Amino acid sequence: GDSVTQMEGPVTLSEEAFLTINCTYTATGYPSLFWYVQYPGEGLQLLLKATKADDKGSNKGFEATYRKETTSFHLEKGSVQVSDSAVYFCALSDGSSNTGKLIFGQGTTLQVKP
Amino acid sequence: SQTIHQWPATLVQPVGSPLSLECTVEGTSNPNLYWYRQAAGRGLQLLFYSVGIGQISSEVPQNLSASRPQDRQFILSSKKLLLSDSGFYLCAWSVGGGLGEQYFGPGTRLTVT
């Protein structure tokens, strides 16, 4: 079945460092891909999305490109801030039905130190 | 605009007691609705989803049940809580029939003692 694999955390960076969180997927169809962010004690917020190959999603300085050839959707940010500390989830849509179900990766914790 | 509400925000319940968590969505019609559980330091586990009133699909067998008595209301219940039911419960919605993103509520922190 479809699946999502994220790099294990925690990822610890200094403020203004470059961030990459790797995400690869396995899917039989043509899924949409998403990154969600979860701040401590809160629900998940949609960070960005891409719906077809070569699309680039971007928001709040974060970017991710839908790479069909490498089945990847890596999250990047050029200069992280302490306020970016959170758990990041990569997800894909289950395109096999009308349920709208998403398949999530296990999450990657990011800690940014001042 | 659409909003999603969950209550209560936090709950402490003894083992063997009943549970009822409520989720409501405003500003949309015929949404798909979802219940997730997130154990401490773990990822998301989809518990139930619903594509319409009275239609509930269970993803994992467990001590919980779900109901959808109205189009934009989703309820998670248990008759007798177990210690293992502790966790962070998240409700989410998506556009019905679509392949798009889900939107999450603020969550309920449940501690079973």
Q: In this predicted model, what pLDDT tens digit does every residue of A47-75 receive, in sequence order? A: 999 999 999 999 999 999 999 999 999 99
What would the 3-class secondary structure string for chain B be? CCEEEEECCEEEECCCCCEEEEEEEECCCCCEEEEEEECCCCCEEEEEEEEECCEEEECCCCCCEEEEEECCEEEEEECCCCHHHCEEEEEEEECCCCCCCCEECCCEEEEEC
User: Is the minimum CB–CB distance between A96 and chain B shorter than 8 Å?
Assistant: no
The 10s digit of each residue's pLDDT in A23-45 is 999 998 889 999 999 999 899 99
pLDDT at B99: 65
User: Are B108 and B7 in contact, with CB atoms under 8 Å apart?
Assistant: yes
Per the prediction, chain B carries an average pLDDT of 92
Distance from CA of A15 to the nearest CA of B (A): 24
Closest CA to B97 of A94, A112, A53, A78: A94
Distance from CA of A99 to the nearest CA of B (A): 6
User: Are A6 and A106 in contact, with CB atoms under 8 Å apart?
Assistant: yes
